[in-house]
Each structure stands twice: as C-alpha cells, then as structure tokens.
Structure 1
Amino acid sequence: MKKLLTISVLAAFAFSVAAQNAVPKINFKTSTYDYGKIKEDDGVAYYSFEFTNTGNAPLIIQRVATSCGCTTPEWPKEPIAPGKGGKIKVGYNPAGRPGPFAKTVTIYSNAETPTVILQIKGEVIPHVKTIDEIYVTPIGDELKFEKIHFALGRIFLGRTYTDTIKFINKSSAPVTVKANTQGMNFMQVKVVPEVVKPNQFGAIVLTYNPDKREEWGFIVDRFTISVNDKAMNTSPITITASIEEDFSKLTQKDLENAPKAEFNTLQYDFGTVKSGDPVNYDFVLKNTGKTDLIIRKIKASCGCTTATPSKSVLKPGESTEISASFRTAGYSGRQGKTITVITNDPRNSTLILRLTGNVNKAQ
C-alpha cells in the first residue's frame, strides 16, 4: 500500500512539473517581407506570415498592432494546438503613399516570447495623373488650368523671377487668350501660344520684377485674362510673394558697419479693457548700429490696428516712437494683434510687434 501511495505521489508531482513547463512557442517562417515595387493604383497589397506553435500548450494570439493605419492585420482568434499553425494576414494600402515604405506589425500572445515584431517594406509606384486630374480649374467654358496661383515665395530686389502656369483648351474650337496687366509695369505676362487649338496646351508665362513693385514684405497681386476678347474678371490669376532685400553678398565688415534695429519691447500686454475703449502704446525703436537705419514698411495685421513712426530714417544712436493703436469696438475675448516692421537691418530685417490682452464685451 505504501508503495502504491509513493508511486501516486511521484506521478502527481511529475504531472505538476510537466504542467508548469507546458508553454506555447510561436515560430514564424520569416519575420520580414519585401513587397518590392507595387503600384498605388493597384489597391491594398497582402501578404500572410505563416507560423507554427512549436510548444506543448495551446497558443493564443491576444492582439496584433501595426505602426500605422495604412497597415491592417488579420489573425486567428481561436487557440492553436501544439504542432498546429496559422497565418497573420497583413494588408498594406498604398493610396496616397508614393515612395519607399517600412512598417512594423507587433504580435502579442501567451507564447514563451510574448512579443514578436514583423516587418513589411517595399516601394509604391505613384499614381500617374490623367489630364483631367491635372487640369481641374476652369476659366470660362473653354479653358482648364493646372492652377491659377503663382506662389513666388521669397523674392529679392535686384533680380527678376519667371514662372509658368499651364492650361488646356477643352472646347471644340480655337480660342485666343490674352492677359490684362494694365497699370502693372512690374510684371510681364505672355500667353504661349496666343491662339490655342482644341485639346492643345498653352502656358501663362510670368516675369516679375520686385524692384519696380516698390513694396516690401508680403504682397498679393492679381491679373485677369480674356478668352476670345471676353474678359474673365471673375477668375483672376493671383501672385503672392515676400519682397525682401538681398543681404547675401554683404561681407563681415559690411555687417559690422550695418544698422541695427532694437525695440524696447516686442510685446505690450494691455490687460483687460472694455469693448470700444482704445488701446494705445508707443513702441520705441533705436538704431544701435553704425549706419542709417531705414524703416521700409510698417503693416498691421488688421484694419483695426494702426502704427505710425515719428521718423523713417534713424541715424546711429537715434530713436523713434512707433505709436500703435487698437480699436477694440466689436471685439471681445482674448485678442492678439500684430504689427510687422521691415527695416534695412541685415541681421533682423523683419520684426513683429504684438498687442495682446482681453476685451470685455460692452454691456
């Protein structure tokens, strides 16, 4: 009887040890897949990572996480017995994602190694746009433009700038296209060709001279075209740019002898006022440089704010007040108005002054 009891105890102990050592193991055939080159137009690309439970207990995949929403996984939700296998199906959506990609898929399970990271990679060949997708902006019934905005960005005095906008004649007859830039001697606009045949492409070629514009900072200009002598006044073509002085050729000695703009403060907090009460503050600008400081332009962020300097040219050591005022009528809540000051200081030619505070609604 004692012998039988001893055998039973040993068997129970062995079973307990075996149960404690029973663990699932997840073993993937590969942890990386290269899609190679896939087309954006072909839709979601799939690949299935195959795995086997090489452990001695059921494998449970708890969840699968991906590094971006462009990757979607599918995985078995039921326990996987020892010796059995399964697949993690991964889909990659290339829409709107041209170029190389590399994404990760993280597997969380009850396996001996609870976290496994898989990777997919490849390159998306971009969608080739059709003519109708490129030329989407109509002017009149005949023409479709790729855009109607010349964004010139930063442009500098002493240079001229050229840019082109393309269009197509979608009508069934030739059209004559002309540009109207009367009174704007700082730009030249050519239409090439002036007569555009059906389904033929044309171009608006802009040449812009910032010296003749006689303006500083951000500018917006517009001109119109005519089609078969009919003015397209409701569809102007816009030009935006920031006209700046070119300091790139200044030597170190030039910089040492240059003017320098320094304000007593760049921000005035007016606290809390009632709507309708004016806010006034005098910003003090001093030239701490070695040559004359020239105020090129002062521009407020809205018509409710004005700023007037007492001088526009400051000799070394001189100061001037820039009187700023904010008309609060019609405003309420937290307010922030800006005043842009452009000078010939090569180190800091554009300075932003701010009026901030709270406006209580009038009772």
Structure 2
Amino acid sequence: MKRIVFFLGLLVPCAILNAQESGPVMKFLKTSHDFGTIKEEGGKAAVDFEVTNTGNAPLIITRVQTSCGCTASFWTKEPIAPNGKGIVSITYDPTNRPGEFSQLVTVFSNALPTGLALSITGTVIPRTKTPEELYRRKIGELGIANVHLSFNRVLIGQEVTDSIKVYNFSDKPMDVTFDRTPKHISVSMKPSKLKPKETGTIIVSYNTKNINDWGFVLDRVRVMPNKENHPNNTISISANIEEDFSKLSEKELANAPRIEFEEISKDFGTVDEGVVIEHKYVFTNTGNSDLIIRKIKASCGCTTAAPDVNVVKPGQQASLTASFRTAGYSGRQSKSITVISNDPKQPSLVLRLSGTVAKK
C-alpha cells in the first residue's frame, strides 16, 4: 500500500508540470530596449521585439497596450505555431518630449499570464526651436517671448529685476524704446539697437521705494519698435507688494496691532437680478498699537467703501461696507474683498460676499 502511495506521489508533480507546459507559451528574446540618445528632429524611433511560442498550441497576440508617446506600429496577427516566431514592433515619437523617457508596453495573448510587459528607455535631445516658435507674439517686426512679467512677492523697500527675450524679425536695424513707464518701473533694451535677425533682452527693474501701493499691482508699458505705435504693443508687469515683518522682535510682535472681523463671509441668500446687495463688515483692533488699513480691493462687480477710519486705535471698532450690483449676473456668485493692513499675523485678509442671483 505504501508503494502505491509513493508511486502516486511521483505522478502528481509530473502531471502538474505537464499541465503547466501545455498550451501556448509567449517568450521574448528580450523584454527591454534602450534607444540611448535620439534627436527630436530625427523623427520616430522603432524597435522589434522577437517573440517565440515555446508551448505546444498556437499563440495568438490579441492586443498591445502602450503608454504616452509610444505606439505598437505592428505585431504578428496570425496564430504563431509551436516553436514559431513573431514580432512586436514598438515606435516612440520624440516630438515635444525632450529629456529622459521610460515607457512600458503590455502584450496580451492567449497564453498565461495573459499580459507580459516590455520596456523602452532613452534620452531625447531637443531640437533647436525656430524664432517663430520662440517668439510667437509680435509687435510689428519685433518678436517677444512673453508679454507678462510677474515679480510675485516684492517687499516694501526692495528692488527686483527680471527680463524678457525679444527677436528682430526684420532685415533692418531696430531701435526699441518704451512709453508710459511708471516711476517705480525702469525698462531698458540690451543691446540698445537690434541688428537684423538678432536676439535681445528687455530688462525690467521694479523698485517699491517709488510706489505707494500694497498687494497685487498691475502696470502696462508700451513697447515701441523704431518708435512705431503698433496695436497690442503692451507688456504687463505685476507684483504683489508686501510689508516686511521678518525683522520685528518678539516684543514688537507682542505690541503689534491685530485686526479681527466679527465675520469674514456673508451669504445673502437668493435675490432677483438687479438688486444691490450691501453688507457691513465690522472689525476691531485687538492689538496694542495703531492698526493702519493700507488698502481695500474688491473683485469684479463688487465695490467697497472706505472704512470709517484708516487708523484704528487699540480696542477701537470700525467697519467697511461692501456693495454688489447684481445687474447682469445670474446663478451662484462669490465676490471677494481683500483688506491689507499692518497686522503682521494677517497682513492680507479676504472677506467673502456670496449668494444666488435669480435671472429675470
């Protein structure tokens, strides 16, 4: 009896092994390919992955799933007989994909496992872009890379500088000058005269010492190629001007003003279009020194009256009134009012006025 059990024990693994080897088996000569470095202007790169059916039944590749930038341009559609060979051809398009890449391709078939992963890697050397691509906006024959220059956060008393690249598309020398430049902004051209097909730089300096403003500030400067006034010839320059509280001592912070509103948001419910919504926001200086309201700015469609006082003594209460004219609006509306003060903990505070406007 023990001999019979032992014999059956030998037969079971063999049966399992035979079951595993039955049917189609998809085996690739290689499962990865490194293209190395390829040039973007060289066009698409392709590689063939050779597959062999090492099983005992026909192998059918049902589909090939690729990732971004990668396509399966061809694979063997006919059943691959046992010991037969097939091809999966993978193509990678480097257009507008500079730098390193690593992509996976999954080949599905009637073999187990149903999906087998292939990988391709490489590095795309970007092509040199044409002036037409780099300087899409034109002012006359002057190409400009960017028409908006953002300085983001600029502290009071600080001067910052940035630049914009330009290109002379004409066949003649070009003088580039600037008009309507505010006093806190200086703009210059380097070189002062552009040769034909030459690249230059507009240098912009922003000096907060020369402006009495706070928060988000937007200015526009005219660009004048050869002193000619072309349509759409402005560049916009923005900055978010903030007070520098970083140098305050612990004692100064403890004695600083504090702005506290009774409420920072108001829902006016549902009103008919054309109704004027008004709401008073009440605040108190809970700090230990004078609270100075630097600036109040409302979003589109909303206006805000100046507060009762611009300097609020410690413990004193004040208010400001927001007004929203609903004519021309419908649906859910949300308006904001930004209050800028000398409170070091919250120098910029946003109030909300929201509700629903029923269209007439």
User: Same fold per TM (> 0.5)?
Assistant: yes
Q: Note if contact 1:277-1:327 (Cα within 8 Å) is conserved in structure 2.
A: yes
| 1:60/1:198 CA distance change after superposition, 3 Å | closer
Mean Cα deviation higher: 52-61 or 74-83: 74-83
Mapped partners of 2:57, 2:251: distance in 1: 79
Mapped partners of 1:295, 1:76: distance in 2: 74
CA shift, 1:251, in A, is: 4.7
Q: Give the 5 Å matches for 1:54-203.
A: 54-66=54-66, 68-73=67-72, 74-140=74-140, 142-181=141-180, 184-203=182-201
Per-residue Cα deviation, 1:290-340 (whole angstroms, up to 9, x for no partner): 433322211111144335422323334433222112111222111111112
Mapped partners of 1:94, 1:177: distance in 2: 38
Instruction: Determine the structure 1 residue equivalent to 2:217.
Output: 219
SS at match of 2:78: coil
Instruction: Determine the structure 1 residue equivalent to 2:293.
Output: 295
Percentage of pairs with the same residue: 47
TM-score (norm 1): 0.85
Per-residue Cα deviation, 1:222-278 (whole angstroms, up to 9, x for no partner): 122334443446412221222222334445555444433333333211111111222
| 1:60/1:216 CA distance change after superposition, 3 Å | same
Instruction: Determine the structure 2 residue equivalent to 1:335.
Output: 333
Mean Cα deviation higher: 196-205 or 124-133: 196-205
CA shift, 1:285, in A, is: 2.6
1:264 to 238, 262, 268: 262
Letter in 2 for 1:300: A
SS at match of 1:309: coil
Mean Cα deviation higher: 82-91 or 163-172: 163-172
Q: Aligned-residue CA RMSD in angstroms?
A: 2.6
Q: Note if contact 1:287-1:319 (Cα within 8 Å) is conserved in structure 2.
A: yes
SS at match of 1:211: helix
Q: Note if contact 1:163-1:206 (Cα within 8 Å) is conserved in structure 2.
A: yes
SS at match of 1:230: coil
CA shift, 1:153, in A, is: 2.1
CA shift, 1:18, in A, is: 7.3
Q: Note if contact 1:305-1:337 (Cα within 8 Å) is conserved in structure 2.
A: no
Letter in 2 for 1:333: G
Instruction: Determine the structure 2 residue equivalent to 1:240.
Output: 238
Letter in 2 for 1:112: L
Mapped partners of 1:20, 1:175: distance in 2: 78
Q: How many residues get paired?
A: 344
| 1:52/1:328 CA distance change after superposition, 3 Å | same
Letter in 2 for 1:180: D
| 1:107/1:227 CA distance change after superposition, 3 Å | closer
Instruction: Determine the structure 2 residue equivalent to 1:10.
Output: none
| 1:208/1:274 CA distance change after superposition, 3 Å | same
| 1:240/1:91 CA distance change after superposition, 3 Å | same
Which blocks of at least 5 consecutive residues in structure 2 are unaligned?
1-16
Mean Cα deviation higher: 123-132 or 224-233: 224-233
CA shift, 1:122, in A, is: 1.5
Letter in 2 for 1:143: L
**Deviating runs (4+, > 6 A) in structure 1?**
17-21
Q: Note if contact 1:100-1:124 (Cα within 8 Å) is conserved in structure 2.
A: yes
Letter in 1 for 2:164: I
Q: Note if contact 2:24-2:110 (Cα within 8 Å) is conserved in structure 1.
A: yes
Mapped partners of 1:356, 1:299: distance in 2: 16
| 1:125/1:307 CA distance change after superposition, 3 Å | farther
Letter in 2 for 1:134: L
| 1:24/1:327 CA distance change after superposition, 3 Å | same
| 1:358/1:77 CA distance change after superposition, 3 Å | same
Mapped partners of 1:239, 1:131: distance in 2: 23
Q: Give the 5 Å matches for 1:288-327.
A: 288-327=286-325
| 1:172/1:27 CA distance change after superposition, 3 Å | closer
Instruction: Determine the structure 1 residue equivalent to 2:50.
Output: 50
SS at match of 2:352: strand
| 1:349/1:44 CA distance change after superposition, 3 Å | farther
Mean Cα deviation higher: 20-29 or 44-53: 20-29
